[in-house]
A and B are shown apart, each in its own frame.
Chain A
Amino acid sequence: MTEEKDISCILCPNGCNIKVKYLDDEIIEIEGALCPKGNDYAKQEIKNPMRTLTSSVMVEGGDTSLVSVKTDKPVPLEKVMDIMNVIDDLRVNAPVSVGDIILDSPAGLDCSIVATREVKIKN
């Protein structure tokens, strides 16, 4: 049986409301997005929702005790907690620069954890 879902796009502040009709994984009709990225997003939401995870990692010897991090690409929503569990145990040493790779393939996923701020060595 075909199903219908209203999806709020998270890609930009427009937050388009996209209506999708689908049968299992097959998209039958899709409307409401202001751009093609919205259509791709809605299709992905039906198949397997993907999210960029942002969090923080403990730093040793830095001028702050945490460095903010993100996954360098979206990961399956259902795997987000697996990555959080890995991040909880991580420690890095200062200094850290924006874009530094903190960890490759967390929880065996195809992504890296990268730093989103700089942390200097504590004076």
Chain B
Amino acid sequence: MMKKELVIIGAGPAGLAAALAAYEEGIEDILIIEREDRPGGILNQCIHDGFGLHKFKEVLTGPEYAHRYIDKVREKELEIMTNTIVTELTDEKEIKAFNESEGILHIKAEAVILAMGSRERTAGGISLPGDRPSGIYTAGLAQNLMNLQNIQVGKEIVILGSGDIGLIMARRLTLEGADVKAVLEIMPYSNGLRRNINQCLIDYNIPLKLSQTVIDVKGNGRLKSVTAAEVDEAFNPIAGTEYEIKCDTLILSVGLIPENELSKKAKVQLDDTTGGAVVKDNLETNVDGIFACGNVLHIHDLVDFVSDEAEKAGKAASEYIKKGHKLNKDNIFVEAGSGIGYVIPQVISKEKDQIFSMRVRKPDNDKTIKIAADGKILHEENFEKVNPSEMIKIKVSSEKFKPLEKSTIKVVAE
């Protein structure tokens, strides 16, 4: 069995940043396992710009952002095993992986960082009605085909869901000569960043139809049309509002799901809301020495925040490898209260300053986010605008936690 101090599963932005942070802390026996033929993860197909404003104070495209990390990983000569699939992970941190050249590999790690990213919600995942002709793609798949494989996915396009990938693909398809007829969004607001609505839809006169969805898909062989309709507050189609849109391609941008099959095998406890692991403030899961970061932990809006989080996981894993595990008795549980979708981390210790990452449930103006325990407000912060598509980060000093008696704090938006 091969032995490694640290194994990182996934060489996307999370895995790369975690590896570099661990290296900076003196851990050199690192193996990064990647199933694609090169590092970079989803950034390789995100050829648009808008990355890196926080980390590098400049605007980079996805591949450029990835390259900054890949260059450093090469410089430090950290090992990335590409074209390799991990099939097993145990709570003893034993890994089974395989690739074409080496066959099956058995690896025992002292610490593991989960950085597998996420996958897309599919047509089945949203119970898309109607026929199943060709021409229905998830937005990320369409992006992969166009930007990496030079395959045009269609000519007359309807996009369902206004997440960022859907908005980016609306522009990309238009630039490559397709006619994007509409972006339909079932919610009364878009789930994409404001700037993407502006530069991807408004710039190219692509209509965004809020509170509308697809109620039928027609086509035998290739997609012929979709039927759209307005929905009421309970998201039920409103009779009489149906209309047909002729199209050969339907792009689904309906959400990302953290990819946690391996985590489950290792008995990592998952959070129902995020779909990712329940983590402590050092991003360690309930399994000793297994850490999680990036989109496998919770879906991020900005890659810069993924890098920050991954650095934290890399440092924590290094500390674990060097000092062994220290049981912490002063655990405080963090709960998402009214108006808040989720909060990461879910468990904190009293001794450390904390940064909470969270998302609100709906867009609003002038909201105060309050962090409370023992009937007292520990910290509050006002936001002029809040939006579920934008992650909110709030820093709280350890001084605020020290006097706490109760073991639960609650975060609410009022």
Q: Is A70 a contact of B67 with CB atoms below 8 Å?
A: no
In the complex with contacts A12-B53, A15-B195, A116-B64, A84-B175 CB distance below 8 A: yes
Contacts of B238 in A (CB 8 A): none
Chain B, residue nearest A99 (CB): B64
Q: Is B302 a contact of A56 with CB atoms below 8 Å?
A: no
Q: Is A13 a contact of B53 with CB atoms below 8 Å?
A: yes
Contacts of B197 in A (CB 8 A): 8
Interface size range of chain A in the complex: 20 to 34
Q: Is B61 a contact of A66 with CB atoms below 8 Å?
A: no
Give Cα A85 to B343, complex, Å: 46
Q: Is A118 a contact of B67 with CB atoms below 8 Å?
A: yes
Q: Is A9 an interface residue (CB 8 A)?
A: yes
Residue among A8, A77, A80 having the largest count of chain B Cβ atoms under 10 Å = A8
Binary interface encoding of chain A residues 99-123 relative to chain B, with 1 for a CB under 8 A from any of its CBs, else 0: 0000000000000000011100000
CB-contact partner of B49 in A13, A54, A98, A117, under 8 A: A54
Q: Is A55 a contact of B47 with CB atoms below 8 Å?
A: yes
Contacts of A13 in B (CB 8 A): 50, 53, 193, 195, 301-302, 390
Binary interface encoding of chain A residues 43-58 relative to chain B, with 1 for a CB under 8 A from any of its CBs, else 0: 0000001011111101
Contacts of A56 in B (CB 8 A): 47, 147, 150
Q: Is B285 an interface residue (CB 8 A)?
A: no
Q: Is A54 a contact of B48 with CB atoms below 8 Å?
A: yes
CB-contact partner of B47 in A8, A68, A81, under 8 A: A68
Q: Is B198 an interface residue (CB 8 A)?
A: yes
Q: Is A68 a contact of B147 with CB atoms below 8 Å?
A: yes
Q: In whole Å, how far is A79's beta carbon from the nearest beta carbon of chain B?
A: 13
Q: In whole Å, how far is B307's beta carbon from the nearest beta carbon of chain A?
A: 14
CB-contact partner of B63 in A52, A65, A117, under 8 A: A117
Give Cα A117 to B68, complex, Å: 11
Q: Is A58 a contact of B193 with CB atoms below 8 Å?
A: no
Give Cα A9 to B360, complex, Å: 22
Q: In whole Å, how far is B13's beta carbon from the nearest beta carbon of chain A?
A: 14
Give Cα A56 to B150, complex, Å: 9
Q: Is B194 a contact of A15 with CB atoms below 8 Å?
A: yes
Q: Is A86 an interface residue (CB 8 A)?
A: no
Residue among A15, A51, A54, A118 having the largest count of chain B Cβ atoms under 10 Å = A54
Q: In whole Å, how far is B365's beta carbon from the nearest beta carbon of chain A?
A: 11
Q: In whole Å, how far is A72's beta carbon from the nearest beta carbon of chain B?
A: 11
Contacts of B67 in A (CB 8 A): 98, 117-118
CB-contact partner of B149 in A17, A65, A98, A118, under 8 A: A65
Contacts of A7 in B (CB 8 A): 198
Q: Is B141 an interface residue (CB 8 A)?
A: no
Chain B, residue nearest A77 (CB): B203
Chain A, residue nearest B197 (CB): A8
Q: Is B148 an interface residue (CB 8 A)?
A: yes
CB-contact partner of B150 in A11, A65, A77, A84, under 8 A: A65
Q: Is B61 a contact of A70 with CB atoms below 8 Å?
A: yes
Q: Is B118 an interface residue (CB 8 A)?
A: no
Q: Is B53 a contact of A116 with CB atoms below 8 Å?
A: no
Contacts of A28 in B (CB 8 A): none
In the complex with contacts A9-B195, A12-B53, A58-B150 CB distance below 8 A: yes
Contacts of A80 in B (CB 8 A): 175
Q: Which of B184-200 contact A (CB under 8 A)?
A: 193-195, 197-199
Chain B, residue nearest A83 (CB): B175
Contacts of B61 in A (CB 8 A): 54, 68, 70, 116
Binary interface encoding of chain B residues 48-82 relative to chain A, with 1 for a CB under 8 A from any of its CBs, else 0: 11100100000101111001000000000000000
Q: In whole Å, how far is A90's beta carbon from the nearest beta carbon of chain B?
A: 13
Contacts of A65 in B (CB 8 A): 149-150
Give Cα A52 to B150, complex, Å: 21
Binary interface encoding of chain A residues 1-34 relative to chain B, with 1 for a CB under 8 A from any of its CBs, else 0: 0000001111111010100000000000000000
CB-contact partner of A68 in B63, B149, B195, under 8 A: B63
Q: Which of B139-190 contact A (CB under 8 A)?
A: 147-150, 175-176
Residues in B lying within 8 Å of A, measured CB to CB: 44, 47-50, 53, 59, 61-64, 67, 147-150, 175-176, 193-195, 197-199, 203, 301-302, 385, 390
A-B contact pairs, 13 of them (CB 8 A): A8-B194, A8-B195, A10-B195, A52-B49, A58-B150, A66-B149, A66-B150, A68-B61, A98-B63, A98-B64, A116-B47, A116-B61, A117-B64
11 additional A-B residue pairs with CB within 8 Å, beyond A12-B195, A49-B203, A116-B64: A8-B198, A10-B199, A15-B194, A17-B194, A56-B150, A66-B148, A68-B63, A80-B175, A84-B175, A116-B61, A117-B47
Listed from nearest, the 3 A-B pairs whose CB atoms lie closest are A15-B194, A117-B63, A68-B47
